[in-house]
Amino acid sequence: MKSLLCFLCFIAFAASSRGQSTIEDKAKAGLHKMFGDSAAISSSWRRLSGSEIDSIARLSHSRWQRDSLQVYVCSAHQKTVGYGFVDDVKGKVQFITYLTGINTDGKVQDVDILAYRESYGGEVAYESFRRQFRDKSSADKLIPGKDIKNISGATISVRAITTGVRKILLTYDLLKGTL
Amino acid sequence: MFIALSFTLAASAQETTSIGGYGELHYNEPDGAARGTLDFHRFVLYLGHTFNEKISFKSEVEIEHTKIEATGSGGAEGGEVAIEQAYLDWHFSEHLGMKAGIILAPIGVINQIHEPPTFNGVERPSVDDVVIPTTWREAGAGIYGSFAENTSYQLYAMAGLRAEGLSGEEGLRGSRQEALESSPMNPSITGRIDVVPNTDLKLGASFFVGSTTEGDSALGSGTVGLVSANAQYSTNGFTFRAVGAFAAISDADKINAVYGNDVADQIYGYYIEGAYDVMPLLCAESEFSLSPFIRCEKFNTQAKVTGFAANPLYDRNVTTVGATFKPTFNTAFKIDYQFFNNAADVNTKQLNFGIGYSF
């Protein structure tokens, strides 16, 4: 029992002393992976009106919990190549922070899980799950379990991410003329 | 920019308390003269709290069979109130997390994920009752995480089982301590690995090993070793689930000499289940699901015995046919019919209806 306690203390110390990167750092790293290492990344804030939030919520079954959001713009050779949105959705207890990259055709470049804090359902970070979103657009309904396959034991997280990505695609559609 | 960053972090870093739960109402009607019964079998509340981005508390409190009555008010009949989970979860990274408290043994499928809308059939599989003694929880601590793409692990040390609770009929079920003034004298190790090769398939393997005799030489070591494997596959509306478990108990003859519970040297059980969602055939646009299913179980809690004859009543088969209707992913209406038989040729049947929810 004593050796077990020592082992657990060692793990706690080792884990807590590891370098921590911020969500901002992870988002930028994720966007570089999606749009190329040489892409320049800037960000700006956009405000959503009450009617815009309502309209997105009605179509996506997921509501923005704030009225302004940060939009990352990725450029290469002075030309915009894509956009990034960071969002939190509720898992079973904890929030899941994820990044959605959208290319200039309005299609999902990729989805990246930036922070997963639950002890179950972490399969949503697997490549085999995330790749289902690639090339999806606001024209796709993204119905969990049909358009996006469920993973046994990760149903709540799968649904949270799927409705979240749909919300971001609809938000992009709304804002694209002004980005 | 600073404000922007703060906002993003604040959404996930603030302390929050969340509540949830699940429950299931059952109607069970045995074939023959016996009357059916309506029973709100489980009413469970989750209470969780997020202390910061890494540390959270999670718990599950269960009321079974709606109430318990004090013996002074007419009888001791009724259910139970139990804390089935209560642990601190320190999630360092996707590769490493740590849990400490009352935690679930990560064996099989139903023991860890048992919300009624997640499984077919009104009643949980019998294998997940007597072979894998669901809900199997003990005080303990350990680690979990993902060590490679598509692969996750769990490894815990927990209080063990007690030899006096082992039995020929119910296997390991009565030997759980359930964190009720439990003895740390039978420390046990349990763990599992899950692999998700693609979104259609999930494979799991799990184990448990620990002594049961608290060092009492008259009982021998009483070591229980259990291994289990499971597979879940889904594609185009078809879902398939297979679970198997095998347990070996050393010195069962010595345990029987003291307690006389006809404990077996070996126990096994398995089931396979297939279901198909027919709703797209009935209404292509519907978001409901309607899944007829069949589940076949075989289990024997006296597969191998020493010093006495195995009871054929404990070599059992259960076949369950029915359907699950789900208007949402977390609500379910269920109907099924079960055929029970055993090696003693005692055959019974039962009709079940149920509703279940989780949120």
pLDDT per residue as tens digits for the range B12-39: 457 889 999 999 999 999 998 888 999 9
Question: At B124, phi and psi to the nearest 5?
Answer: -65, 155
Total number of domains constituting chain B = 1
Query: Mean of the pLDDT values across residues A29-48?
Result: 94
Return the structure tokens found at B122.
Answer: 């009104």
pLDDT per residue as tens digits for the range B271-284: 999 999 999 999 98
Q: What is the ipTM of this complex?
A: 0.82
CA-closest candidate to residue B156, choices A170, A8, A50: A8
Please compute Rg for chain B using Cα positions: 22
Name the 3-class secondary structure at B170: coil
Q: What's the DSSP call for residue A144?
A: B
Distance CA B312, CA A137 (A): 60
Distance CA A90, CA B30 (A): 42
Distance CA B324, CA B293 (A): 8
Is A61's pLDDT higher than 90? no
pLDDT per residue as tens digits for the range B147-176: 888 999 999 999 999 999 999 999 999 999
Distance CA A90, CA A97 (A): 9
Distance CA A159, CA A153 (A): 12
Please state whether the peptide bond connecting residue B135 to the residue before it is cis, i.e. omega within 30 degrees of 0: yes
Return the structure tokens found at B277.
Answer: 């969602």
Q: Which domain holds residue B354?
A: 3-358
Residue A14: what residue type? A
Question: What pTM does this model have?
Answer: 0.89
Sign of CA dihedral A8, A13, A14, A18: positive
Is the Cβ of A153 closer than 8 Å to some Cβ of chain B?
yes
Is the Cβ of A3 closer than 8 Å to some Cβ of chain B?
no
Is the Cβ of A159 closer than 8 Å to some Cβ of chain B?
yes
Distance CA B157, CA B227 (A): 16
CATH number of the domain within which B127 lies: 2.40.160.10
CA-closest candidate to residue A95, choices A111, A112, A115, A122: A115
Query: Mean of the pLDDT values across residues B244-255?
Result: 96
Is the Cβ of A58 closer than 8 Å to some Cβ of chain B?
no
Q: Which of A23, A43, A94 is best to mutate for the B interface (most B CBs within 10 A)?
A: A94
- pLDDT of res. A15: 54
- pLDDT of res. B71: 66
Q: Which of B91, B143, B234 is best to mutate for the A interface (most A CBs within 10 A)?
A: B91
pLDDT per residue as tens digits for the range B311-357: 999 999 999 999 999 999 999 999 999 999 999 999 999 999 999 99
Distance CA B57, CA A16 (A): 18
Sign of CA dihedral B65, B70, B71, B75: negative
Per DSSP, helices labelled H in chain A are 2-16, 23-35, 50-60, 127-130, 155-175
- Does the beta-carbon distance from A153 to B202 stay under 8 Å? yes
Return the structure tokens found at A82.
Answer: 């894509």
